[in-house]
Amino acid sequence: MAIEIMFNAVNIAFVAMSRYLVPAALARNPTSTMDSVVQTVLTGQVFAVFIIAVAAAEVVLGLGIIIAIYRNRQTIDITEINLMRR
């Protein structure tokens, strides 16, 4: 759960960073095309989407491990699972 909160904090930071990069990009080159401004705007959002994809992959991996343990041991109770003895 703590990792998910850290991911969300980084996502907010990336989106905020991309929001404040746009005025800097316009100040450097006021005659810039809209395409370069849009690319600057979307950088934080693209990073956030990648982080969300990584978080989803972590959830799928954890769920797959739990399902594999349940199929082998017929339980997911921690007190009944002892993988080192078998």
Tell me the angle at which helices 34-73 and 2-28 cross, rounded to the nearest 10 degrees.
Answer: 170
pLDDT digits (tens, 9 = 90+) for 8-54: 888 888 888 877 776 665 666 666 555 555 555 677 788 888 888 98
What is the token pair recorded at 50? 């990648």
d(CA 13, CA 17): 6
CB 45 within 8 A of CB 15: yes
Any idea where the domains of the chain sit in the sequence? 2-73
First to last CA, the chain: 30
Label residue 5 exposed, middle or buried (CB < 10 Å: 0-12, 13-18, 19+).
exposed
Is the whole model's pTM more than 0.75, yes or no? Answer: no
